[in-house]
Structure 1
């Protein structure tokens, strides 16, 4: 005899699983709209805020319209040129340091050989 005679009331029957419905609205798009949205020829990402338009180019947002659009592109070009020149300058400084080290090593070896020759001449005269 069960302890609780109304035991079935506390364990309700399991509901059958529901069939999942698609949340995607992609099946509603026509072929032209699908190709335009998801095709391989996606143009630059552009954003328009408050009358100014910016585009995402080479990892940076570039202003395309507005009061400072032309000067902004020129500033970005100058910054890129400045970065390239700075890297070239660092490379040339490194090359100069290597050449100075090589010159110091060669001078030390030459000085060592000169003193060795002098010592050998001094021994030869004795």
Structure 2
């Protein structure tokens, strides 16, 4: 193999020196560096098909009211729905208790009716 085939092409070339202007942002104070480099950024917002969504607390939240309910409204409706389910369960329990009380009262009334009937029959036999 001839040595001239590869030559010195694998030796790295010297990089050109950097310009002094690119180092000017190293002299910023903390507030300026946050503003410059975006360390303190707000919520991530994306607009897709006319709907704007933001990433908050690990969830994508719909912020535009067009076409769909807002996240806050959905949360409120879920809470209302949960409250209505709890109220419905309480009312079902109250109905069950009232039916038990009605059955008990009916049984007692039937028992007293039979007792009165037996006493009348016993009284009529004595005469």
TM-score (norm 2): 0.49
Tell which structure's C-alpha radius of gyration is larger.
2
TM-score (norm 1): 0.50
